Structure 1
């Protein structure tokens, strides 16, 4: 049996001292945390404020508290707060201090994970895309340009959060430095030393700093550093004794900690919907708590990858993470309690007092029914509206990063160099389309090219015909050695024997326009479309959901639509791709809807819209229906 110290018999080593200063520390002799001088075991759950609407933060935290948790674990995504270099956003949905205050009011301590890299299946692992302005930068290393950017960011963030440390009267009991660094190829101890110095300078000497790494020797060797308490993460497929024995090799004394105990898992487009059995989760949680270990459940509520915030993985090929981050977690994407949550609460009852009272119920849902959308126009005919600043001219294609247009879509335009009466291959010879390109000639949709999958397609036309390629960024890689993930056209395209040159490049500010009320507000003259076009190719559609007197959560389903993006009242819900799956519906928080005025619905369909033009608002999600890739 693994020796785990005195945490299993807390009453024997608990010493209450009246008037003691607030403190949180590690007791290496008793192998436990000390909170105000007394042994402490946390039972925590992960929640990401960036994936939950601000209006629901209190509800989610209350449900976590009523489940018996005494702490929450929180990531801070750097790119969520500094999308443009030097411009910091901490208001509204980005008000992390308000979130910390709500957790404090609820009675929850906080385990903070400020990065700078967080993974989290989040766009570029939380690193801002503007770091890629330097093509030679080595991310997550002692590269001087990277360290300068990190230092500037941490000076802002950690100064803001220092008052929230537990010893300063707040609720942050510990702070993670970096994240799963042992999984990264660099293994740069100078980088970790720099971070340790930064964190100590801004947070002081008393705060507990820790690392988290996967359960292998290699990961722990490269991810740990003296002065940072080493913790591990693992799920239900791991032997607990073996895992904690490995942690003990790196931390011979102190508390046992599983910083990410996986209650579920993520989905990629085209995968089957992930699930982890409730019984396995509850049984393993009980075993770990019986050993006296502190445990954080990842995730407790997953939430949603709104907008363009989903990440991607790259193993043998690029795989984008779906919009839903439901994660098969104890609280659903919409924040509803599940059987898994009730089973977990029953386990926690054996180890600490669970708050008395009923579990807050699921939020009410509404099936608002069908809404018919009308076509506004093809993207190629809306450029005066969607790119009012006009195009950039370039002999060769420029990336999203070179254009300083980091997310969403860009349109690349050139002309056919010669007559192509027969189908002629358009080729991306270096797999340089990141991530999908939708190709039209003279406004007529020709087909699609996809990174790692479809690198060649045929086109026809006449010399001088307009070739348009709408390129979609489907989320930057968030894990591994390919996080330097540039987007757009990364190299020349070849048409037959010709290298295509002399491009006009349009940054599509579609989110900005929709946020101002377009297209429902009108005021756009759309040129007539080619009759053969129909519903094919990138185009905008709009309609309104009429008020019903109720603004309840709902789920939008796009039956017959192919792939694209949805906005409700100017808010980007995320990507839909029912033809690929598994996700078939998008979560619509009731807080986005108006019960009294028409609700604007805007859809950017990238490939092929159905003739019926309808979308359906349902009262339940559909997250588990994978189709054959198309």
Structure 2
């Protein structure tokens, strides 16, 4: 009885190991991925956990699963997790581990794009602005200073991912090395090889590593690398056959993949809201799937650039991206299923089974009505609150980066060197202001200097009057060769023909006091007379009561431009005067039953009515 029992135990052990072994690889002979030995094709969607409150992660992922996706694609923004060198934040809405746990619970595979550069229309493409403390640094190259920072970051991030790899029992099936590198001017293969070495060092030899680039010769040539699987990006208006034929020049064998199939497109302040028809998107998706290719839809939900996280493009001029990253995606900015999602689900069902049952419904949307806003006072009245340290004294202006202020606002202050009785031009050189400067003389608002658009305004005053220039960082460039986008007064300012000197710089920490309840301290409201001027950078605040909690949209049609906070949470920039975005998405989880506060920093001109409106639908165009 002994030997047969021993044989049986051995067979059970071997069978158990085989059942528990998980593998994901590329079969270059059959031109497919192999998952646990079987040919496999993924149908994926991009979701950015950093643009969605963690409260809603499960809701969004479940909707993606119920659409029929078997994978999600996820960027990891370096600057979101290492805000200052050596200090890492993976808590709350930055809890990457929790997000990945949810994907695993819902049975979704994961394609990770950890950068170090991600683009994503995110500030500086995910690179931390503190890299620019070194003015000579060459980003996204083999520059030793840049590589040292990358090595340090990846030594923290990648070990967190290794246990989650598919071959280690997790659900991460592939990892991208860098991002769309062929679109960058450097074309530094040594840099890509350095990253490849790091990824292999920390993640091992079994994980599928890949690159992603646009469907042009130059992009694929500079972005692909031997020993890395090459994938391509294109949208529904492109010729899929032509794009994949070009890909075959750089990836002769292996599975065809479109890593970014565009379901919509981004917006820019001052331009029309971008939309892509559901018919075009679903027809293009069906065409890709009929070719046997794997596909990732970018975006499946766009989300929101809360706070100051939006990026910018540079196309002849600087083009900042709005707070909304709705993207006209299958799931709206607020996570609601759209008709486009239903069409995509129908297409997917023709190629693989989709889960039974309906896609979860939209979250509750509330119209909380109008809220009266009281003027708190001019920003200049509260420098002791938002910049309690001594200002930096400097002969000529310094950049944000030089005073370690990476987001938001810095006040540049000097005195008029002489009487200016006749209005005289205050001027900046082209691209000398990054990005908008709100100018006051003697506490009176005079106007705005704007990067690439408004280079001079008229001012007048008496010798010794304070000249205040509040500079707003509107988001760093996230794509192309200009990602080293310094902020502030990056050149001298002249009055008439005279260069202004002897500046005081006040880096403004708005988030700290406002998140702690300012201007409502205890039961006291810090407010000034409502008869003051409604122009220039000023704070306004109001309260409203709710008995039912749900998502809502802050409508500010009569206001001009500024920043909004709800219960101390920075919901982003508003700019209805320029559009296309008119409302700000307010996730229900930041509201509370009972009293809520809304605080605005209006930068130019406040509403004559001094009210805001919470409505139950977005206005994005």
TM over 0.5: yes
Structure 1 segment 131-280 matched on structure 2, within 5 A: 131-280=131-280
- 1:213-250 deviation line (CA, Å, top 9, x unaligned): 00001000000111111000000121011000011111
- 1:268-300 deviation line (CA, Å, top 9, x unaligned): 001100011111111111111111100000000
- 1:497-526 deviation line (CA, Å, top 9, x unaligned): 221111110011011111111111269997
Structure 1 segment 540-619 matched on structure 2, within 5 A: 540-547=539-546, 549-595=547-593, 597-619=594-616
Question: Matched residues in 2 for 1:545 and 1:221: separation?
Answer: 57
Quote the residue 2:516 is aligned against: 516
Q: Alignment partner of 2:301: what SS?
A: coil
Q: Is the 8 A contact 1:558 1:615 kept in 2?
A: yes
Q: Is the 8 A contact 1:381 1:527 kept in 2?
A: no
- Structure 1 residue 453 and structure 2 residue 457: aligned? no
Q: Alignment partner of 2:520: what SS?
A: coil
Quote the residue 1:12 is aligned against: none
- Structure 1 residue 336 and structure 2 residue 333: aligned? no
Structure 1 segment 362-441 matched on structure 2, within 5 A: 362-441=362-441
Question: Matched residues in 1 for 2:308 and 2:489: separation?
Answer: 18
Residue 389 (structure 1) shift = 1.4
Question: Matched residues in 1 for 2:527 and 2:283: separation?
Answer: 63
Question: Matched residues in 1 for 2:169 and 2:176: separation?
Answer: 19
Quote the residue 1:348 is aligned against: 348
Question: Matched residues in 1 for 2:353 and 2:337: separation?
Answer: 19
- 1:241-266 deviation line (CA, Å, top 9, x unaligned): 10000111111110000000000000
Q: Is the 8 A contact 2:236 2:285 kept in 1?
A: no
- TM-score w.r.t. the length of structure 2 is 0.96
Quote the residue 2:619 is aligned against: 622
Quote the residue 1:63 is aligned against: 63
Question: Matched residues in 2 for 1:18 and 1:131: separation?
Answer: 47
State which drifts further: 424-433 or 399-408: 424-433
C-alpha change, 1:332 and 1:528, in structure 2 (3 Å) is closer
Quote the residue 1:14 is aligned against: none
Residue 390 (structure 1) shift = 2.8
Quote the residue 1:112 is aligned against: 112
- 1:520-577 deviation line (CA, Å, top 9, x unaligned): 126999797897x511000111111212x21100000012100000001111001000
Q: Is the 8 A contact 1:20 1:36 kept in 2?
A: no
Question: Matched residues in 1 for 2:551 and 2:505: separation?
Answer: 39
Q: Alignment partner of 2:506: what SS?
A: strand
Q: Is the 8 A contact 1:375 1:541 kept in 2?
A: yes
Question: Matched residues in 2 for 1:529 and 1:470: separation?
Answer: 23
Q: Is the 8 A contact 1:444 1:530 kept in 2?
A: no
Q: Is the 8 A contact 1:375 1:542 kept in 2?
A: yes
Q: Is the 8 A contact 1:520 1:543 kept in 2?
A: no
Q: Is the 8 A contact 2:375 2:541 kept in 1?
A: yes
Q: Is the 8 A contact 1:382 1:526 kept in 2?
A: no
Question: Matched residues in 2 for 1:63 and 1:328: separation?
Answer: 16
Q: Alignment partner of 1:370: what SS?
A: strand
Q: Is the 8 A contact 1:443 1:529 kept in 2?
A: no
Residue 19 (structure 1) shift = 2.2
Question: Matched residues in 1 for 2:534 and 2:467: separation?
Answer: 19
Question: Matched residues in 1 for 2:289 and 2:527: separation?
Answer: 66
Residue 431 (structure 1) shift = 2.5
Question: Matched residues in 1 for 2:557 and 2:80: separation?
Answer: 31
Question: What value does the CA root-mean-square deviation take over the aligned residues?
Answer: 1.4
Q: Which runs of 5+ in 2 are unaligned?
A: 1-16
Q: Is the 8 A contact 2:519 2:525 kept in 1?
A: no
Question: Matched residues in 2 for 1:255 and 1:123: separation?
Answer: 33
Quote the residue 1:124 is aligned against: 124
C-alpha change, 1:525 and 1:337, in structure 2 (3 Å) is closer
Residue 191 (structure 1) shift = 0.4
Q: Is the 8 A contact 2:375 2:530 kept in 1?
A: no
Question: Matched residues in 1 for 2:445 and 2:438: separation?
Answer: 8
Q: Alignment partner of 1:276: what SS?
A: coil
C-alpha change, 1:335 and 1:528, in structure 2 (3 Å) is closer
Quote the residue 2:533 is aligned against: 534
Q: Which runs of 4+ in 1 moved over 3 A?
A: 522-531
Question: Matched residues in 2 for 1:37 and 1:402: separation?
Answer: 54
Q: Alignment partner of 1:437: what SS?
A: strand
Q: Alignment partner of 1:541: what SS?
A: strand
Question: Matched residues in 2 for 1:128 and 1:106: separation?
Answer: 32
Residue 490 (structure 1) shift = 0.6
Q: Is the 8 A contact 1:132 1:486 kept in 2?
A: yes
Q: Is the 8 A contact 2:397 2:492 kept in 1?
A: yes
- TM-score w.r.t. the length of structure 1 is 0.95
Say how many residue pairs are matched: 605
Question: Matched residues in 2 for 1:602 and 1:172: separation?
Answer: 41
Quote the residue 1:48 is aligned against: 48
Q: Alignment partner of 1:335: what SS?
A: coil
